[in-house]
Every structure is written in structure tokens, then in C-alpha cells.
Amino acid sequence: MAAYSFKNIQWDTTIKVNLLRVVIAGILWSLLSYIFYAFGAMRTPFGPHLWLIIFIWPIGYVFIIPTAIVAGWLHKLGVPLVGLFTFVPPIMVIPADPIVSYLHATRRDLVPIERYRIIEPALWILIYKE
């Protein structure tokens, strides 16, 4: 169990891989928002500024992670329905996982981990030292 402690985490690689996931997810969600806006499925006065989602997504994800962790703790304490919030952050980045998996297969310097699945339903991927 000592191998899975915070001392053995490669923080630079962990942050790099997770930030890559979130930035790619931000680009994909921004493109999806543009498509919805262009076809009239989304009415918003911020339509011309939807490209800002690319930058807002990683910043927002940093705040959502601690909130989801607290929600998980509250769920373990027995607070009803709060555990459902722990599913939101992984769903936010799952669209980016196939692209990150492709980058892992083609450019190992961008995703320098041993194995990356095509779908990683995880809140935060921790990468440990060997």
C-alpha cells in the first residue's frame, strides 16, 4: 500500500496529463456549443464568445474536483443524493479521452504514461513512480 501514497505520485506528469484531458475537453465542448448555437438549438447572448469555454473549462475543473471529493465524502457519511455530483467531472472530460488515447499511441511525449484506455472514467488520473 505504500506504493500508492502521495509521496510516490509524479506530480508533473499527473498535472500534464489531466490538464491535457481538460483542455481537449474544453475545445470539444466549445465546438459543440458553437454547433448548437449555429443551428439555433442554444439561445444565448454569449454566442460570439463561446470560444472562451476553452479557457474557462480548465479553471472550472480545478474548482469542481475538490467539490466532487467533498461530495463523495458526504455521500459516504450518508447524505442522500449528493453522491450524484461525483459523476459530473468525469463526464465532463470523457469526450476528450479518445483523442488523448490517440495522442498516447502516436506521441508518447505528450501523454507519458504506461497505459491509457480509450475511455478513462476517472475524476483525476494519478500517475505513480515505478
Q: Above 60 in pLDDT, residue 45?
A: yes
pTM of the entire structure?
A: 0.78
* Cα 83 → chain centroid: 18
- Residue of 3 and 113 predicted with greater confidence: 113
Per-residue model confidence as pLDDT tens digits over 52-111: 777 777 788 778 888 888 888 898 898 888 888 888 888 888 889 999 999 999 988 888
Residue spans per domain, the chain: 2-106
C-alpha cell at 90: 468525469
Give the per-residue pLDDT at 98.
94
CA nearest to 121, candidates 84, 93, 101 = 93
Spatial contact of 89 and 68, defined as CB atoms under 8 Å apart: yes
pLDDT-based confidence at residue 1 (cuts at 50, 70, 90): very low
Phi/psi of residue 63, nearest 5 degrees: -85, -25
